[in-house]
C-alpha cells in the first residue's frame, strides 16, 4: 500500500502544479489483473489500509474507490479521464490509446475555440 500512497501524493502534487492547473489529466490505473489476484488471495480487507473504505474486497468496487481517491487529489475543476488497464492486454491498451487520442484532439480543438 505504500506505493499507492506515494502515487496519490505524487498525483496531488502534479495536479497542484501551477502550469497544469487547467490541464485535463489522463489517469491510468494499471495492473488491474494483479489487484484482482491480490484481493482474492488476501485475508486482509482493503479497509485495514484505508479505513474510509467499507465496501467488499472486489475488483470493481475497490477500483472505483481508488479512482475516486485519485480524482479527489485534484482541487481544481478539470477533466480527469480514468482508465483501468492491464498492460499485457494489447486489445485493451489499443482502446485506451484511441481514447487518449480522442481526448487530446478534443482538448486541442477546445483550446483553439473550434469546440
pTM reported for the whole predicted model: 0.82
Grid coordinates belonging to 114: 473550434
Grid coordinates belonging to 3: 506505493
Give residue-wise pLDDT tens across range 33-78. 999 999 999 889 999 999 999 999 999 999 999 999 999 999 888 8
- The CATH code of the domain that includes 35 is 3.40.50.300
The total domain count for the chain is: 1
Asked if the structure places residue 49 within a domain, the reply is: yes
CA–CA gap between residue 55 and residue 111 (Å, rounded): 40
Asked if the structure places residue 48 within a domain, the reply is: yes
- The CB density around residue 70, as the number of other CB atoms within 10 Å, is 19
Asked if the structure places residue 109 within a domain, the reply is: no
Give residue-wise pLDDT tens across range 3-31. 889 999 999 999 999 999 888 888 999 99
* CA-to-CA separations, 102 to 22, 30, 72, in angstroms, rounded: 18, 20, 24
Asked if the structure places residue 47 within a domain, the reply is: yes
Asked if the structure places residue 7 within a domain, the reply is: yes
Asked if the structure places residue 101 within a domain, the reply is: no
Asked if the structure places residue 20 within a domain, the reply is: yes
Asked if the structure places residue 115 within a domain, the reply is: no
Parent domain of 39: 2-87
Amino acid at each position: 500500500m505504500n506505493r499507492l500512497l506515494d502515487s496519490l501524493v505524487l498525483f496531488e502534487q502534479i495536479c497542484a502544479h501551477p502550469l497544469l492547473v487547467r490541464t485535463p489529466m489522463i489517469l491510468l490505473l494499471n495492473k488491474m489483473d494483479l489487484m484482482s489476484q491480490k484481493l482474492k488471495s488476501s485475508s486482509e480487507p482493503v479497509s485495514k489500509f484505508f479505513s474510509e473504505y467499507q465496501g467488499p474486497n472486489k475488483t470493481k468496487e475497490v477500483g472505483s474507490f481508488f479512482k475516486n481517491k485519485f480524482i479527489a487529489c485534484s482541487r481544481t475543476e478539470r477533466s480527469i479521464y480514468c482508465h483501468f488497464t492491464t498492460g499485457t492486454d494489447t486489445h485493451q491498451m489499443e482502446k485506451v490509446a484511441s481514447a487518449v487520442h480522442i481526448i487530446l484532439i478534443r482538448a486541442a480543438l477546445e483550446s483553439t475555440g473550434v469546440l
